[in-house]
Amino acid sequence: MILFIICVFFIGYSAITIEHTIKIDKLIPAILMMAICWTVVAMGLDSFTHWFDPHLGKLNDISSLNHEARQHLLEGTLLHHFGKTTEILIFLMGAMAIVEMIDHFDGFGAIKKIIKTNKKSTLLWIISFLAFFLSAIIDNLTATIVLITLLRKIVPEQKDRMWFSGFIIIAANAGGAWTPIGDVTTTMLWMAGKVTTGKLILLLGIPSLINLLVPLAIGSFLPAFKGKLEGTTTVEKENKLGTPMLLIGLGLIVFVPVFKTITHLPPYIGMMLSLAVFALIAEIVSNRSISFTNIAEQEKDHDFRGPTMAALGKIEMPSILFFLGILMTVAAMESLGIIFNFGQSVSAAMPENLFITLLGAGSAIIDNVPLVAASIGMFQNPPDSNVWHFIAYAAGTGGSMLIIGSAAGVVAMGMEKISFFWYLKNISLLALLGYLAGTGVFLLLSSF
């Protein structure tokens, strides 16, 4: 049974990795292997001798339990993991909705005002730092979309935008690693109680910055960033509410970690509070009203929808269900002690820091979400141990080494038609140097 579950995971994960080749969205194998794994666990429940207790974090011998007791154990474990997974998903949906409402008011268009140069090297630094700090607040994927969209209004040549987009990927992934809301993997570690906001920022702020500065310092001297851009004459109507709504929305997202620190409630509660406040403000300033009693009739006219309904309609449900499938599949493997035993074997075979460094490199090939999900069940270190912060850094920034290694890279690949081999030839080495430099700085700082 255990061997079969492992095979299902590797087959499903292989399908996720090569989704562009087989033309099957990664959502499908993710939810399929989740359903198969838990079905196999339920069917073979009486044959298992060990069960991992998610509450105590240890492997228990269940060979003496009868079927009813095992069934009760399965139901409790499944409910626990589903609850923890749902917390993450609700949190992400709230953040996505706020970002979509900011965009509804063209809030991100206000960022264009900051850029007042046509010198390529200067623009590179401005765009990269915008990506670094913006991704720390609204997550690396959204920051990449916003800034590449902005680039299209500033940089007319697609060939030039490819170079800028490569650095946006590095900057967005580096920026997402040092805050609990900047990347789904750091969010997972934060919501699992493995890291705290203050310690995460303190330990990863400098290494993440170094991860960006090293490629930037080298990139400034590359031929692609010599000279100036041709002037653009595009004039767009400005939304007067854009800047205020951008500041309010970003402020409410940043408020979530503060809310958790003050109340000790789960982060998704704080995100729902921020979403409700922002939605209320958005509905008031947009001067729109919605009648939920006859909403079916009004759906024929899309103009009736206020910013809240419009934003909720744009949430990427395929991504949400993909995370559900991956996290619950890993939970099934964790429940049988597979991940725990693997972690024990790794700890005996190689130093912890070397393994995590390789894990970061692996995230360039394998999606970092299941890698981090597995590591949570693999290591038994107490909260805020250096191992958790190192995992956050490695998984968050390691994906920059290949364009398929992160959500930011994949979306940039699609938006600017960047080929895998172009990125490998021109950007991958820079990302690797930044990753290794940041790793060295983290290990140095954590040794004190």
User: pLDDT tens digit string along 215-253?
Assistant: 999 999 999 999 888 755 455 667 788 889 989 998 998
Q: State the pLDDT at residue 294.
A: 45
Q: State the pLDDT at residue 89.
A: 86
Q: State the pLDDT at residue 39.
A: 94
Phi and psi, residue 270, nearest 5°: -60, -40
Tell me the C-alpha distance between 370 and 376, whole Å: 10
Q: How confident is the model at residue 84 (pLDDT cuts 50, 70, 90)?
A: confident
Mean residue pLDDT of the chain comes to: 85
138 versus 130: the higher-pLDDT residue is 130
Averaged over 110-114, what is the pLDDT? 77
Whole-number Cα distances in Å, 222 to 204, 214, 217, 319, 432: 28, 13, 10, 36, 17
Q: State the pLDDT at residue 205.
A: 94
User: pLDDT tens digit string along 380-429?
Assistant: 789 999 999 999 999 999 989 988 778 788 778 877 888 888 999 999 99
Q: How confident is the model at residue 300 (pLDDT cuts 50, 70, 90)?
A: very low
DSSP string, 6-29: HHHHHHHHHHHHTHHHHT--THHH
- Amino acid letter, 198: G
The token pair that represents 246 in the structure block = 């951008």
Q: State the pLDDT at residue 301.
A: 47
Contact (Cβ atoms closer than 8 angstroms) between residue 430 and residue 219: yes
The answer to whether residue 56 scores a pLDDT higher than 90 is no
Tell me the C-alpha distance between 187 and 192, whole Å: 8
User: pLDDT tens digit string along 171-194?
Assistant: 999 999 999 988 888 988 998 889
Phi and psi, residue 144, nearest 5°: -65, -45
Averaged over 330-350, what is the pLDDT? 81
The fraction of the chain above a pLDDT of 90, given in percent, is 36
Q: How confident is the model at residue 327 (pLDDT cuts 50, 70, 90)?
A: confident
- Amino acid letter, 4: F
- Amino acid letter, 445: L
Q: How confident is the model at residue 369 (pLDDT cuts 50, 70, 90)?
A: confident
Contact (Cβ atoms closer than 8 angstroms) between residue 272 and residue 94: yes
112 versus 423: the higher-pLDDT residue is 423
The answer to whether residue 94 scores a pLDDT higher than 80 is yes
Q: State the pLDDT at residue 288.
A: 53
The answer to whether residue 291 scores a pLDDT higher than 50 is no
Give SS3 for 118. coil
Residue 52 DSSP one-character state: E
Of 366-370, 386-390, 406-410, 434-438, which gets the smallest average pLDDT?
A: 366-370
Query: 3-class secondary structure for 295-352?
Result: HHHHCCCHHHCCHHHHHHHCCCHHHHHHHHHHHHHHHHHHHCCHHHHHHHHHHHHCCH
The domain segmentation of the chain, as residue ranges, is 2-446
Contact (Cβ atoms closer than 8 angstroms) between residue 406 and residue 399: yes
Q: How confident is the model at residue 143 (pLDDT cuts 50, 70, 90)?
A: confident
Nearest one of 335, 397, 345, 347 to 372, comparing CA atoms: 397
Q: State the pLDDT at residue 290.
A: 43
Tell me the C-alpha distance between 342 and 150, whole Å: 45
Count the Cβ atoms, other than its own, within 10 Å of residue 42: 14
DSSP string, 54-117: TTTTEEEE-TT--HHHHHHHHHHHHHHHHHHHHHHHHHHHHHHHHHHHHHHTTGGGGGGGG---
Q: State the pLDDT at residue 218.
A: 95
Averaged over 349-376, what is the pLDDT? 83
The token pair that represents 62 in the structure block = 């269940």
- What is the reported pTM? 0.75
Q: Virtual CA dihedral for 134, 137, 138, 142, nearest 10 degrees? A: 30
The answer to whether residue 292 scores a pLDDT higher than 70 is no
Count the Cβ atoms, other than its own, within 10 Å of residue 329: 27
Tell me the C-alpha distance between 416 and 422, whole Å: 12
- Amino acid letter, 124: L
Count the Cβ atoms, other than its own, within 10 Å of residue 333: 24
Highest mean pLDDT among 164-168, 283-287, 414-418: 164-168
Q: Which residues contact 404 (CB under 8 A, 6 or more apart)?
A: 364, 365, 410, 413, 420
Q: State the pLDDT at residue 379.
A: 82
Count the Cβ atoms, other than its own, within 10 Å of residue 355: 21
User: Position of tokens 């103009």?
Assistant: 303
Q: How many DSSP H helices and E strands does the chain contain?
A: 21, 2
- Amino acid letter, 251: G
